[in-house]
Amino acid sequence: MSNIQQGGCRCGSAQYEINLAGANTLNCHCIDCQKHLGAPFSVFTVVSSSQFKWLKKPTGFIAFSDTANRIFCDKCGTYLKWEGINYSNEAEINAMTLDDPSAIKIDEEIFVRTRLSWLKPLEDVPQYQAGRNV
């Protein structure tokens, strides 16, 4: 069953379409996400790479390490997609760039070892000290 949604950057220069069927959505409390977004955590949604396509592909690209790249709009700066070097079969999008982010639910919280002390864990959501299922 498909659940097609669209999303994009703030200025509209970058747009995508994603099928959220079977998606896994996570709150990530890692230091990289906190620093990159200037926020207490990131919310990202993971689907099979076959469930994601760019309608207007952005050209912004940055690599913080040799393990992952981040794709962003070079016009407005919106961070859109994380691309792990060893995760080419997945598409991991910044869920807040969906046109309707209220359509998702949080399935897991990761890197809770660096969650800010004033944030509380989500009830009935698995908590992982490090990355996914770790």
Backbone φ and ψ of 121, nearest 5°: -60, 145
Neighbours of 130 (CB within 10 A): 12
Residue spans per domain, the chain: 4-114
Q: What is the pTM of this model?
A: 0.89
The tokens describing 97, both together, are: 């760039």
Q: What is the pLDDT of residues 54-95, one digit of tens each?
A: 999 999 999 877 888 899 999 999 999 998 888 889 999 999
The tokens 């982010």 sit on which residue?
A: 101
CATH topology of domain 4-114: 2.170.150
Beta strands 108-110 and 24-28, pairing class: parallel
CB 17 within 8 A of CB 57: no
